[in-house]
Structure 1
Amino acid sequence: MSMDEGKRMEDDLELKLPELLMSEAVQSLHAIVDHQWDSLQHSACQTAAGRALWNHVIHDPVAEILAGKSFLRSLYEKMKMDKLNNAHEVSGVILAVRTLWFDSKLEAAIDSFGDGESQVVLLGAGMDARAYRLSCLKESSVYEVDFAEVLQIKAALLHEVTQSPKHRHIEIKAKALVRVPADISDGDWIEKLKRSGFVPERKTIWVLEGILYYLHHLHAMQVLQSIAANCSVTQTVLLADFMNKSSAALSTSTFHFYNDWPDHLLPTLGFSSVKLSQIGDPDARFGLLPDPQNLFDKLRSLPRSIQTNPEDGTPCRRLYLVEASGFPNQTIS
């Protein structure tokens, strides 16, 4: 690569932060995030940063503001180095693919319900802005469940966005948006959801993106069992991602729950249909993995039972994207 080409590439990768992100109000809110939130809560901003910096495929008009400067800059620097070094996969691609997979499966599930109002529950909603960016939610009530402090900061940031002259066109696309302050590791989150207007008998899609593996095993299983119980009441769809054991071992202080065979687990809880994908599968690549030597395609070529890559001895760290469904009077095979 010539010097001129290198300079051009650096210019192309220059991070341009929106003016609103520099406002005193937004900076003061993100100061709270940076200094008072824990690793689980920070993961919400990391996900928003991924959506913001992969904006050529994910059109999220508020992701930059929800992510904040520190998370945007951190991911940006990693992406810049990956591109300059011609890496097989660029940092954040897993967040981009995961987001697009959840978006596509959510839209398909809503379509499958046919006419009539449906409900979408985002557990551990974090900085998710689907209610503001997905038109498929126009007939759906969206419930965002998360810690009170997360929902409060998020609402305050979105208020700053919608009050800004440049962003006043941004509005909620869902039929309704309800924020439910609750800790899903606490047993009463379902009751709080109901008190907020959730109707158990109404067709529901449950979205658990980037949350299960932060829960301890007992709490994760209780959440999955609570959702599965809804299958006996109404048509129910679960969209979730699962780490395998090797992935969870990356940080034993951060990740707790794992399952190497979620497609075997979920039918035992009450789901009649379970479909599993890995990053790089036909429904989980979205043209974002052009290098044939990318890590995800290498993993897909190995049986899921193999824990260690025979080529280089590295752990086979996998993320499973899982769609499960059930309905009253179903037959579980």
Structure 2
Amino acid sequence: MSEEQNGKLEDQSWPELKLPDLLFTDTVQQIHASIENEWDSLRQSACQTAAGRALWNHVVHDPLAELFAGETYLRSLYGKIKKDRLTNAREVSGVILAVRTMWFDSKIEAALNSFYGGAAQVVLLGAGMDARAYRLSCLKETDVFEVDFPEVLQMKTTILQAATESTNDCQHAKMTAKSLNRVEADIRDNDWLQKLQISGFVPEKNTVWVLEGILYYLSHSHAMEVLKIIAANCTLTHTVLLADFMNKPSTTLSSSIFHFYSDWPDHLLPSLGFSDVSLSQIGDPDAHFGLLHDPLNLFNKLRSLPRSLQTHPDDGTPCCRLYLVQASGSPNQAIP
């Protein structure tokens, strides 16, 4: 798709909200009622992310996202999008999530291609309601591992079973990855890597680690421990880390939820053992996908300012940044 064509995506008439019949079956409604009543904000964020992918499906193309999101989160976000478009908002709700998803999709494919053949693995830490194993064709020769809380993965499995049993939605639940293993583990505990290996993960096999929308929910010590464990794999095999990092001002958006931050992740990761690190900000050439044209969009305004600034010089507001980072290393390149 050309830049000109891609740039028109945001301007097209937004489709009316039409929810799939499967969302209204007893099984799926009961699941989402439990999610809304019993899950904490961290776990519920998995469904909110799915809602963003569902309502930006014209660019993300995730046929399972509606089922994973549930009616409540879909209607809530749709209402925000409708309001944003009526008021000509510079940034339509969910667009950053769409850009982030597309950035990770493109980098996963590029990383797998960089391995020059041979078996590969993709590990999704804090996988939530991620459906990449069902929608990315680049995973057809790849073993995928989803790591998350037991209740999240169990709910996800139940929803997928309902889709498989439905004559209208069974095609959506067809896996594109070579294999998929769900690993019930809390990455804040010290046994998640062991559980991953028990599930079939091979430390010596080329691996892409995906940490999308997860690091900033962790404490500083837990996040650093996860990053160190992944970095240690650089001494064993070709290892690629894909992650998004908040800077310090971003954590103030919800101080009760967001904890870990790094203002300079491109400095942090080499210190842990990654030999090659590249950083993008939302709106950069590889992180806009024709969806962020407005030069006064918050993220475009921030890109022109030094990253060391914590507050905007024009109005004193916090400079809330989201960094998209790719890091890699291998046994013959790893920093000792």
Query: After the TM superposition, which of the residue ranges 323-332 and 114-123 deviates more from structure 2?
Result: 323-332
Deviations 1:277-316 (A, max 9, x none): 0000000000001222211100101010011111111100
* Percent identity for Structure 1 against Structure 2: 69
> What pairs with 1:91-102 in structure 2 (closer than 5 Å)?
91-102=93-104
| Structure 1 counterpart of 2:158 | 156
Q: Is the 8 A contact 2:146 2:182 kept in 1?
A: yes
Q: Say whether 1:214 aligns with 2:217.
A: yes
Q: Of residues 281, 285, 288 in structure 2, which corresponds to 1:282?
A: 285
Give the secondary-structure state (helix, strand or coil) at the position aligned to 2:180: strand
Query: After the TM superposition, which of the residue ranges 321-330 and 290-299 deviates more from structure 2?
Result: 290-299
Q: Is the 8 A contact 1:216 1:257 kept in 2?
A: yes
Deviations 1:151-210 (A, max 9, x none): 000000011111111122230000000000000000110000000000000000000000
Q: Of residues 40, 45, 65 in structure 2, which corresponds to 1:63?
A: 65
- Alignment RMSD, CA only? 1.3
The residue identity in structure 2 corresponding to 1:327 is: S
* Structure 1 Cα separation of the partners of residues 117 and 27 of structure 2: 42
Q: Say whether 1:322 aligns with 2:322.
A: no
Q: Is the 8 A contact 1:309 1:315 kept in 2?
A: yes
1:14 shift after superposition: 2.8
| Structure 2 counterpart of 1:3 | none
| Structure 2 counterpart of 1:228 | 231
Give the secondary-structure state (helix, strand or coil) at the position aligned to 2:168: helix
Q: Of residues 114, 117, 121 in structure 1, which corresponds to 2:116?
A: 114
1:329 shift after superposition: 2.6
TM-score by length of 1: 0.95
Q: Is the 8 A contact 1:231 1:327 kept in 2?
A: yes
1:260 shift after superposition: 0.3
Judging changes above 3 Å, is the alpha-carbon distance between structure 1 residues 12 and 101 closer, same or farther for their aligned structure 2 residues? closer
The residue identity in structure 2 corresponding to 1:301 is: S
1:12 shift after superposition: 5.1
* Structure 2 Cα separation of the partners of residues 117 and 144 of structure 1: 18
Q: Is the 8 A contact 2:277 2:327 kept in 1?
A: yes
| Structure 2 counterpart of 1:4 | none
| Structure 1 counterpart of 2:34 | 32
Give the secondary-structure state (helix, strand or coil) at the position aligned to 2:57: coil
* Structure 1 Cα separation of the partners of residues 239 and 133 of structure 2: 19
The residue identity in structure 1 corresponding to 2:215 is: L
> What pairs with 1:218-297 in structure 2 (closer than 5 Å)?
218-297=221-300
Unaligned runs of 5+ in 2: 1-10
* Structure 1 Cα separation of the partners of residues 247 and 21 of structure 2: 40
* Structure 1 Cα separation of the partners of residues 126 and 14 of structure 2: 34
> What pairs with 1:170-185 in structure 2 (closer than 5 Å)?
170=172, 171-185=174-188
Q: Of residues 85, 88, 91 in structure 2, which corresponds to 1:89?
A: 91
The residue identity in structure 1 corresponding to 2:320 is: R
The residue identity in structure 2 corresponding to 1:17 is: L
Q: Is the 8 A contact 1:116 1:139 kept in 2?
A: no
Deviations 1:18-42 (A, max 9, x none): 1111111100000111111111111
1:327 shift after superposition: 0.3
* Structure 2 Cα separation of the partners of residues 35 and 189 of structure 1: 27
Q: Is the 8 A contact 1:13 1:80 kept in 2?
A: no
Give the secondary-structure state (helix, strand or coil) at the position aligned to 1:289: coil
List 4+ stretches of structure 1 deviating above 2 A.
Answer: 11-14
* Structure 2 Cα separation of the partners of residues 253 and 265 of structure 1: 24
Q: Is the 8 A contact 1:139 1:175 kept in 2?
A: yes
Q: Is the 8 A contact 1:123 1:184 kept in 2?
A: yes
| Structure 2 counterpart of 1:136 | 138
Give the secondary-structure state (helix, strand or coil) at the position aligned to 2:296: coil
1:141 shift after superposition: 0.3
> What pairs with 1:171-210 in structure 2 (closer than 5 Å)?
171-210=174-213
TM-score by length of 2: 0.95
1:85 shift after superposition: 0.3
| Structure 1 counterpart of 2:49 | 47
Q: Is the 8 A contact 1:119 1:203 kept in 2?
A: yes
* Structure 2 Cα separation of the partners of residues 151 and 92 of structure 1: 24
* Structure 2 Cα separation of the partners of residues 278 and 18 of structure 1: 35
Q: Is the 8 A contact 2:53 2:98 kept in 1?
A: yes
